[in-house]
Amino acid sequence: MIRLNTSLQFSIILCLLPLIMATVSYFWQPFDVTELNISNRLKPMSLTHPLGTDHFGRDMLSMIMVGARTSIAVAFVAVGIGVLFGVPLGLFAATWRGSFIDDAVMRFNDLVFAFPSLVIAILITAIAGPSAFNAIIAIGVFNIPVFARVSRGAALSLWQREFILSARVAGKTGLRISIEHILPNLMHILIVQATIQFSLGILAEAGLSYVGLGAQPPTPSWGRMLADAQTMVSLTPRLAIVPGVAIIITVLGLNLLGDGLRDAFDPKLRGSIKK
Amino acid sequence: MASIVIFSLVEIAPGDPASFMLGINAQEDTISALRTELGLDQPKISRYFTWIGGMLTGDFGISYTYRTNVTEMVGDRLWVSLPLAIYSLVLSTVIAIPTGIYAATKRGKTGDVAVISATQFGIAVPNFWFAIILVGIFAIKLQWFSAGGFPGWQDGLVNGVTSLTLPAIALALPQAAILSRIMRSALIETLGEDYIRTARAKGLSVWQTIWRHALRNALIPVLTIIGLQFSFLLAGAIIIEQVFYLPGLGRLVFQAITQRDLIVVESVVMLLVSAVILINFIVDIAYMLADPRLRLDSI
Q: What is the pLDDT of residues A113-142, one digit of tens each?
A: 767 677 777 777 766 777 778 788 888 888
For the ranges A56-70, B8-22, B162-176, B269-283, the one whose mean pLDDT is highest? B162-176
Mean pLDDT score, B220-248: 78
The residue among B226, B223, B224, B198 whose CA lies nearest residue B212 is B198
Q: Are B261 and B64 contacting, i.e. CB atoms less than 8 angstroms apart?
A: yes
Strand-pair partners of A59: A53
The answer, yes or no, to whether residue A273 has pLDDT greater than 50, is: no
Burial of residue B48, with CB atoms counted within 10 A of its CB: 0-12 exposed, 13-18 middle, 19 or more buried: middle
ipTM of this complex: 0.75
Share of chain B above pLDDT 70, in %: 66
Q: Are B84 and B164 contacting, i.e. CB atoms less than 8 angstroms apart?
A: yes
Q: Are B172 and B248 contacting, i.e. CB atoms less than 8 angstroms apart?
A: no
Asked whether the CA dihedral A182, A183, A186, A187 is positive or negative, the reply is negative
Between B109 and B10, residue with greater pLDDT: B109
Strand-pair partners of A53: A59
Question: With an 8 Å Cβ cutoff, are A123 and B116 in contact?
Answer: no
The answer, yes or no, to whether residue B48 has pLDDT greater than 80, is: no
pTM, two decimal places = 0.78
| Least confidently predicted of A37-46, B221-230, B243-252, B281-290 | A37-46
CA A143 to chain centre: 10
Q: Are A174 and A96 contacting, i.e. CB atoms less than 8 angstroms apart?
A: yes
Asked whether the CA dihedral A216, A217, A218, A219 is positive or negative, the reply is positive
How many residues can be counted in chain A?
Answer: 275
**Separation of alpha carbons B130 and B143, rounded Å:** 17
The residue among B211, B214, B221 whose CA lies nearest residue B188 is B214
Q: Which amino acid does the sequence have at B61?
A: G
Question: With an 8 Å Cβ cutoff, are B126 and A244 in contact?
Answer: yes
Task: Write down the pLDDT at residue B152.
Answer: 65
Task: Write down the pLDDT at residue A274.
Answer: 40
Question: With an 8 Å Cβ cutoff, are A241 and B133 in contact?
Answer: yes
Question: With an 8 Å Cβ cutoff, are B178 and A275 in contact?
Answer: yes
Nearest to A126 among B2, B231, B258 (CB): B258
Task: Write down the pLDDT at residue B2.
Answer: 57
Mean pLDDT score, B189-214: 79
pLDDT band for B153, please (50, 70, 90 cuts).
low
The answer, yes or no, to whether residue A160 has pLDDT greater than 70, is: yes
The residue among A207, A204, A240 whose CA lies nearest residue A225 is A240
The answer, yes or no, to whether residue B3 has pLDDT greater than 70, is: no
B249 neighbourhood in chain A, CB within 8 Å: none
**Using omega within 30 degrees of 0 as the cis cutoff, is the peptide bond preceding A218 cis?**
yes
Q: Are A124 and A141 contacting, i.e. CB atoms less than 8 angstroms apart?
A: yes
Nearest to B1 among A111, A124, A255 (CB): A111
Between A59 and A274, residue with greater pLDDT: A59
The answer, yes or no, to whether residue B299 has pLDDT greater than 50, is: no
Q: Are B170 and B65 contacting, i.e. CB atoms less than 8 angstroms apart?
A: no
Task: For residue B210, give how far its alpha carbon lies from the nearest alpha carbon of chain A (Å).
Answer: 18
- Using one digit for the tens of pLDDT, what is the confidence trace for A178-199? 888 888 888 888 888 898 889 8
> In degrees to the nearest 10, what's the CA dihedral of A14, A20, A22, A26?
180
CA separation, residue B178 to residues A87, A253, A267, B181, B218 (Å): 26, 16, 23, 5, 15
pLDDT band for B195, please (50, 70, 90 cuts).
confident
Question: With an 8 Å Cβ cutoff, are B239 and A211 in contact?
Answer: yes
Task: Write down the pLDDT at residue A185.
Answer: 84
The answer, yes or no, to whether residue A275 has pLDDT greater than 50, is: no
Task: For residue B184, give how far its alpha carbon lies from the nearest alpha carbon of chain A (Å).
Answer: 8
Nearest to A118 among B123, B188, B236 (CB): B236
The answer, yes or no, to whether residue A100 has pLDDT greater than 70, is: yes
Mean pLDDT score, A245-270: 79
pLDDT band for A81, please (50, 70, 90 cuts).
very high
Q: Are A151 and A186 contacting, i.e. CB atoms less than 8 angstroms apart?
A: yes
The answer, yes or no, to whether residue A80 has pLDDT greater than 70, is: yes
Question: With an 8 Å Cβ cutoff, are A248 and B125 in contact?
Answer: yes
Mean pLDDT score, B219-228: 79
How confident is the prediction for chain B on average, in pLDDT? 74
Gyration radius from chain A CA atoms? 22
The residue among B173, B171, B284, B289 whose CA lies nearest residue B224 is B284
Interface A:B, Cβ pairs < 8 A: 130
DSSP symbol at A219: S
The residue among A39, A74, A61, A231 whose CA lies nearest residue B243 is A231
Q: Which helix (H) or strand (E) holds A94?
A: helix A60-95
**Separation of alpha carbons A116 and B272, rounded Å:** 7
pLDDT band for B147, please (50, 70, 90 cuts).
low
Burial of residue B37, with CB atoms counted within 10 A of its CB: 0-12 exposed, 13-18 middle, 19 or more buried: exposed
Between B137 and A250, residue with greater pLDDT: A250
> In degrees to the nearest 10, what's the CA dihedral of B74, B75, B80, B84?
90
Q: By CA distance, what is B249's nearest residue in A? A: A119
The answer, yes or no, to whether residue A26 has pLDDT greater than 80, is: no
**Separation of alpha carbons A130 and A123, rounded Å:** 10
The 3-state DSSP class for residue A59 equals strand
- Which residues have CB under 8 Å from A197's CB, separation 6+? A78, A79, A82, A143, A146, A147
The residue among B271, B6, B85, B257 whose CA lies nearest residue A112 is B6
Gyration radius from chain B CA atoms? 24
Q: Are B245 and B237 contacting, i.e. CB atoms less than 8 angstroms apart?
A: no
**Separation of alpha carbons A121 and A139, rounded Å:** 6
For the ranges A40-44, A114-118, B3-7, B182-186, the one whose mean pLDDT is highest? B182-186
Q: Which amino acid does the sequence have at B153?
A: W
Q: Phi/psi at B106 (nearest 5 deg)?
A: -100, 30
| Least confidently predicted of A256-260, B43-47, B72-76 | B43-47
How confident is the prediction for chain A on average, in pLDDT? 79
DSSP symbol at A181: I
Question: With an 8 Å Cβ cutoff, are A274 and B185 in contact?
Answer: yes
DSSP symbol at B62: B
CA separation, residue B87 to residues A22, A117, B177 (Å): 39, 21, 16
